[in-house]
A and B are shown apart, each in its own frame.
Chain A
Amino acid sequence: EDKVVQSPLSLVVHEGDTVTLNCSYEVTNFRSLLWYKQEKKAPTFLFMLTSSGIEKKSGRLSSILDKKELFSILNITATQTGDSAVYLCAVLGRDDKIIFGKGTRLHILP
C-alpha cells in the first residue's frame, strides 16, 4: 500500500531557530514530491521535487529529495512566528493519484 510518513508530527521551537521536517514515502511509480504549507484553511504550494539531489530554495525555505532512500526534507532557517503552520508532504504516484502525509504541526515561539 502506498504511504507517505512525515516526522515529527509536531514541533515547537523559538524564533530564529532552524528546523528540518522529514517526509519518507513508499509509492508505486513515483513521479514527484510536493510540499505545502497549511495555516488556517487551504494548503498553499511550496515546492515540487522530481529529481534527486537538486535543492529547491525560496527565501528561508529549502527542500531536497533523495529518491534512493525515498525521503525528502524541508528546511526553514531563521524561523519567524509567521512560519507557524502545518506542513504537508504529498507524493504523486501511479494513476496520477496524490497521497498526502499527516503533516507536521510547527509552532514558533516568539
Chain B
Amino acid sequence: DGGITQSPKYLFRKEGQNVTLSCEQNLNHDAMYWYRQDPGQGLRLIYYSQIVNDFQKGDIAEGYSVSREKKESFPLTVTSAQKNPTAFYLCASSIGVLLQETQYFGPGTRLLVL
C-alpha cells in the first residue's frame, strides 16, 4: 500500500544532542513537508521541499535542518540549537507544487526532551 511512514513513533533527546526524524513516502510525490504541532497550536511549517536536492525554510526553521537526497526521503534533524524541541512532528507530501492542495500526512513522531 502507498503511504507515508515516519519513525520512530517516540523519540527522546538529551540536552545538547542532535536527533534525526525519518520520513519516507512511496507515493511518488515530488513535494514533502515537515510540520511541528504544539498543544493548543496549529501546525507550523518547518521546512519543505519541492524537488530532490532542493528545500526551503518554513516559518520556524531555526534549530532544524533537512536534506532531500532521494525523492522518497525527507529526514529532519533537530539540532541542539532548537531550545524547545518537545512537540509532535508531522511529515506530509503532495503530488507537486501546483497540486499542493492535497497533502497526505504520516503518523507523526513525538519528540520529548530528557
A101–B44 Cα gap in the complex (Å)?
Answer: 9
Interface string of A85-110 (1 = CB under 8 A from B): 00010101001111011110000000
How many positions in chain B have a CB within 8 Å of any CB in the partner chain?
A: 24
Within 54-96 of A, Cβ neighbours of B (below 8 Å) are at: 88, 90, 92, 95-96
A-B contact count (CB 8 A): 51
Least CB distance, A51 to chain B, in whole angstroms = 13
Can you list 18 A-B pairs with a CB-CB distance of less than 8 A? Answer: A32-B101, A34-B101, A34-B103, A42-B90, A43-B105, A45-B102, A45-B103, A48-B101, A88-B42, A90-B42, A90-B43, A95-B56, A97-B59, A98-B33, A100-B42, A101-B42, A102-B42, A103-B42
Which residues of A are interface residues toward B (Cβ below 8 A)? 4, 31-32, 34, 41-45, 48, 50, 88, 90, 92, 95-98, 100-103
